[in-house]
Structure 1
Amino acid sequence: MMDRYSRQKQFKPIGDAGQKKISEKHVLMVGCGALGSANAEMLVRAGIGKLTIIDRDYVEYSNLQRQTLFTEQDCLDQIPKAVAAKNRLHAINSMVKIDAYVMDATSESLFPLLDNVDLIMDATDNFDIRLTLNDLTHKMNIPWIMGSCVGSTGMSYTILPNETPCLQCLLDITPAMNATCDSVGIISPAVQMVAAHQTTEALKLFVEDTEALRTKLVTFDLWNNQYHMINVSRAKKDTCPTCGNEPSYPHLNYEFQTKSEVLCGRNTVQIRSNRAYEIETLAGRLQTVGPVKTNPYLVSVEYKGYRIVFFRDGRALIHGTNSKEIAKTIYYQLVG
């Protein structure tokens, strides 16, 4: 039988030795939507040793346009994304060990999964989880590769603890977009472009070709033919609470985490973020999602049969459900 990795091993930076290293690596994929599907498939086809997938959602028809591991039958059966991905990936490469967890990604749920993990791949849909990942990876000294996309745009950056600036450092010098796929849409080529950057960086790490690692933040807009490589090396700060000289890992602490609670008798879940909302900006962005009402204190929007109310102080009420999981899904679809 022909070696399934023969073409990959013919690529000189990998070769036989590199392929052996790849087969010994364990990747934790946080999120298995668009980026998770694309990255997971490429990594499994490349022959990694183990893939652990965590995702809280199930497959819907709107996913099929860009989430490449799923089928119409997965939608009809409402299969959790992590489970559907595992089934498909096993059919692609039965030699890769794949674990799937249907649950929310939090510092508490992620921590037990970090044993023997060589790399964490960011395929999440919100910055709360990314900031948690940022603290966890630095505390545990695990590299991670950040990625995000919306519309025709995307970005990626490889974060190496004790070497590169961390996400917290980058947020101090780059503006937050806050756009989401639900508010401005997305085209699938943007997903594939980000995933290509992420998986390529992962392969470089696996074969220990550190000289080839991309040290810059990459951003692009496929529709408007823009591509930028940004040198962010000077963003690293000694005072950073995550990667500085005296790290405190704030986003692993309860007071910095987004919290949710069911409001008794109201069929409503309250979500409290540690960031305030700029009501006017948020109202303008939500116009594309559904009917919006606003006053000086709050903005509300009708979305997928729910009514979501955002207050200036960082609170949001999701009316129409008592499920924290559903409420958080709706919340992140709207605010990113």
Structure 2
Amino acid sequence: MLPVRIFDFVLDALDGTLGAVQPEQGGALLGLRGQDVVTSFIHDPTARVTRIEYQNSQWLLDEITQREQSGVQRFKGIVHSHPARTPQPSYQDRHEFATALEANPELGRYIGPIVTHDGGSALGPHELRTSPGVRISFFCGTFDGPRFTLERMRPIRIPLRAAVERAGLPFPESTVQVLDDVQGVSVPLPDDLFGPCRHLFVTAHFPFTAPVVYALDSLDGAGVRALPWDLASPPVDRLAGALQSVLRTMNGVNGLPSPGGREANGTATTPPAPEGGEASVEAAPEAAAAPAEGGHRPLAPAGHAWPVAREAAASRATGPDTGTMPVSGALPDPGTRPAPGTPAAPGASAVPGRPARRGMLGRVGAWFGLTGRTSLGQALFARTGGLLSPALADRHVLLVGAGSVGSYLADVLVRSGVGRMTVVDPDRVEAANIGRSLFTAHDIGSPKANATARHLRNVHPGIRTRAWKASVDDIKPKHWRKTLPNVDLIIAATDDNAAQQRLNHLAYWFGKPAVFVGLYEGAAGGEVVFSRPSLPCWACSTGGVRETLGNLGMRPPTDYGTGRSFAVPGLLPDIQHVSSSGAKIALALLHDDAQDRITRFLAKPLAEHLPMVLMAMEPDHWFFPKVMENVPGQHAFQSIWVRTGPRPDCPVCGDEARRVDPLEYHGDAKDSATTEQMQQALRARRAVSGSGSR
């Protein structure tokens, strides 16, 4: 069951709105970019509601857009309430979830909790209770290939508000902000105790990773102090102990007010223990180190000053699970913060005169011209001006096969500026994949399609991605009909000849350019074939060549039952040599304007019908020594562009009367008898239809 982390002040907001009125009511959830972490709730008071129906308003959609554009939070999904004893999504809910996820494919998952007024029944592992009579059940929608699936999610309550109030401090919800560059939540600290403009910053793994206290100074950096963190103490008490220790060190004062929340009369109260299903607070990561002598975990050399760029690099390198953050010396006095309790406008700076929407590390990006999604998209073309067109941002690539070849191609195309990609692969990441692809150890067990899409969003958060965990045969004709008209290029990088043939047929039928990348035995050689309606199809280009390769033993062996190539040893540089050639051809096919330099790269191959490139990465490979024997300076990394032509009887690119709609049959491409029968039947239907129309 996938976890979803949600801050306790968001749960308080849900309890005080949806939990306080009769269903149905609802609103939007916002959170950290690229993570299943919820940091904000927007109630939709103008929604159209009845006792059994909730429909969000245009105001809510506009508010989500405004907050995403002016702030750093991202839309996560819609939460709404149901009548008692119906804590599960309805059929209409499933439809709405799927529609919203199709419109926002960059989400990856659509989070859709259900709030019900159920007081007595037991909680499931996907549920928690915000007050005695209010239950929240967590669900998420994803696309598994073209099929929409609904799953339960395990909620993890992040007790930030409880910990702050346990420390005897006020919790100013109106000024809670999500920092852009460092993923987390920032809470202002009282000026009278910590000095002006001090903030507490926590990540989604609080209270099991140490937060920091930071102060913003001028544009040249930020002062950061990591809190001493005692993992042996109760989770909700750790913050109080850490802040006490910092105050004694910084100011020589006795510490904080008495632990516990503050009522209006000043008396301290103990926050109630959170209630949940399996666990309401996350278990401590195994990577967390044991406390050092004195009960505090050593996080970095004391008194060490870290420049802001090094702090950013350190936080990215260690990741959210290690709990390590750098320690600086005394915090600088950066200026004056607005009076306590004064809310900051959405996206506005908390310090007068400071540029808006720049977090602790956000100014680093400003130094390099990276101030948002749009700017990053423009920056992708900063070093390719005149070579590639910014129009790539509107191009949609369908990538089938996300292994060592496909994942590399996806990475190159997105870094080159392609703005939309659908990734299809039926397999999951295995440890053996790490050495020859872009995947990391954290991806092991994840679907390759999802892991690739996640990597692409990390490269460019503005890209629109969609992941299908499916084989080519699993995808139904209706999904091809819906998807292919909106695709600008198809890339076939599978290890299955039948799948390559199917994609070849689909690409030609829908009039889409396509690139096919293949490797030979041991990655000592490879091929790149490209097609479009004016050229031969992949099958006609490769037919004779593949027969020759098979006779010479240079094709990788295939599994008799599946027809897929066995994984064989091959060097990553050789694999990427072939893949990079395919990437350049793909980029050329994505351009229409002859003024772009990349377009001229394919001018000769297109004019002379040279749609197949054969490559040798090793000396003495195949026929290359014979062909190149009189050419001086030859050793390896050779290529030859091959002239091919269509076969008149080809059902893909041959005579028009013999072509077959690939969506009208599902026969195995290797079964020529079945294919011929289908062709005859289709020709007969066309003949009858044609005579009738005359």
Q: Establish whether residue 56 from structure 1 lines up as the match of residue 426 from structure 2.
A: yes
Offset, 1:168: 2.1
Corresponding residue for 2:379? 4
In the other structure, the counterpart of 1:72 is 441
Residues 222-261 of structure 1: matches in 2 within 5 Å?
A: 222-224=617-619, 225=636, 227-233=638-644, 235-246=645-656, 247-249=658-660, 254=665, 256-257=667-668
Indicate whether 1:46 and 2:413 are aligned: no
Please list the CA deviations of residues 232-281 of structure 1 after superposition, one character each: whole Å capped at 9, or x if unmatched. 24x223332211122433765646317xxxxxxxxxxxxxx638xxxxxx
Q: Which whole-Å CA distance do the structure 2 matches of 1:32 and 1:184 have between them?
A: 16
User: Are residues 251 and 257 of structure 1, via their aligned partners in 2, closer, same or farther at CA, if it must alter by over 3 Å?
Assistant: farther
In structure 2, give the amino acid aligned to 1:100.
A
Counterpart in 2 of 1:34?
Answer: 404
Q: Displacement, 1:200?
A: 0.8
Contact map agreement 2:578 2:615 (CA 8 A) in 1: no
Deviation per CA, 1:177-201: give whole Å up to 9, x if none. 4415636422212221122111111
Indicate if the aligned counterparts of 1:131 and 1:251 stay in contact, CA closer than 8 A: no
Helix, strand or coil: the match of 1:219?
Answer: strand
- Read off the aligned partner of 1:156 and give its amino acid letter: V
Q: Given the alignment of the two structures, is residue 123 of structure 1 paired with residue 518 of structure 2, yes or no? A: no
Gaps of 5+ in 2: 1-368, 371-377, 558-564, 620-635, 673-694
Letter in 1 for 2:384: K
Matches within 5 A, 1:94-133: 94-106=461-473, 108=476, 111=480, 112-133=482-503
Percent identical among aligned pairs is 26
Contact 1:135 1:252 in 2 (8 A): no
Question: Aligned AA for 2:379?
Answer: R
Distance verdict in 2 for CA 1:44–1:183, change over 3 Å: closer
Residue equivalent to 1:221: 616
Return the match for 1:22 from 389, 392, 398: 392
Distance 1:195 1:142 in 2: 20
Secondary structure, counterpart of 2:466 in structure 1:
strand
Aligned equivalent of 1:191? 575
Equivalent residue for 2:510? 140
Q: Does the 8 Å CA contact 1:148/1:156 hold for their aligned counterparts? A: yes
Q: Tell me, yes or no, if the aligned pair for 2:493 and 2:517 is still in contact at 8 Å.
A: yes
Q: 1:274 corresponds to which residue?
A: 671
Maintained 8 Å contact 1:47/1:96: no
Tell me by how many angstroms 1:99 deviates: 0.5
Aligned residue for 1:38, secondary structure, equals helix
* Matched residue, 1:182: 566
Aligned mates of 1:173, 1:128 — CA distance in 2: 17
Count, aligned residues = 252
Q: CA deviation at 1:114?
A: 1.3
Residue 36 of structure 1 deviates from its aligned partner by: 1.1
Please report how far the alpha carbon of residue 49 of structure 1 lies from its aligned counterpart in structure 2 after TM superposition. Answer: 1.7
Tell me how far 1:222 sits from its aligned partner.
Answer: 0.9
SS of 1:141 mapped into structure 2 = coil
- Residue 387 of structure 2 corresponds to 13
SS in 2 for 1:146: strand
* Matches of 2:651 and 2:589, distance apart in 1: 26
Structure 1, residues 198-229: CA drift from partner, whole Å, max 9, x if none? 11112212222454214432112212225232
Distance in 1 (alpha carbons) for counterparts of 2:661 and 2:544: 19
Which secondary structure state, in structure 2, belongs to the residue aligned with residue 65 of structure 1? Answer: helix
Residue equivalent to 1:153: 525
Query: Could you tell me which of 197, 204, 207 is aligned with 2:588?
Result: 204
1:81-136 deviations in Å (ceiling 9; x for gaps): 11111111111111110100111112626614213100001111111011101111
Amino acid at match of 1:157: V
- Report the residue type matching 2:541 in the other structure: L
Contact 1:55 1:82 in 2 (8 A): yes
5+ long unaligned stretches in structure 1: 259-272, 276-336
The answer to whether the Cα contact below 8 Å between 1:251 and 1:257 also exists between their aligned partners in 2 is no
1:85 aligns with 2:436: no
Kindly provide the amino acid, as one letter, of the partner of residue 108 in structure 1: K
Change (3 A) 1:226 1:205: closer
> Counterpart in 2 of 1:314?
none
Contact kept, 8 Å, 1:147 with 1:155, in 2: the verdict is yes
Show structure 1 runs of 4+ deviating over 3 A. 6-9, 180-184, 249-256
SS at match of 1:257: coil
| Cα-to-partner distance string for 1:132-165 (whole Å, 9 max, x where unaligned) | 011111111011001111412211021112x111
Q: CA deviation at 1:170?
A: 2.0
Cα-to-partner distance string for 1:260-319 (whole Å, 9 max, x where unaligned): xxxxxxxxxxxxx638xxxxxxxxxxxxxxxxxxxxxxxxxxxxxxxxxxxxxxxxxxxx
**TM-score normalised by the chain length of structure 1:** 0.68
How far apart in 2 are the matches of 1:220 and 1:172? 17
| Equivalent-residue separation in structure 2 for 1:66 and 1:81 (angstroms) | 13
CA contact (8 A) 1:34 1:67 kept: yes
Residue 222 of structure 1 aligns with an amino acid whose one-letter code is M
Residues 31 and 172 (structure 1 numbering): CA distance in 2 closer, same or farther, change over 3 Å?
A: closer
What is the RMSD computed on CA atoms of the aligned residues?
2.4
Preserved CA contact (<8 Å) 2:613 2:642: no
Q: Structure 2 matches for 1:156-175, cutoff 5 A? A: 156-161=528-533, 163-175=534-546
- Deviation at 1:58? 0.1
Contact 1:22 1:48 (8 Å CA) reproduced: yes
> Bigger CA drift: 224-233 or 25-34?
224-233
The letter of the residue matching 1:116 is: N
Name the CA shift for 1:203/1:175 in 2 (closer, same or farther; >3 Å): closer
Find the aligned partners of 2:573 and 2:662 in 1 and give their Cα distance: 32
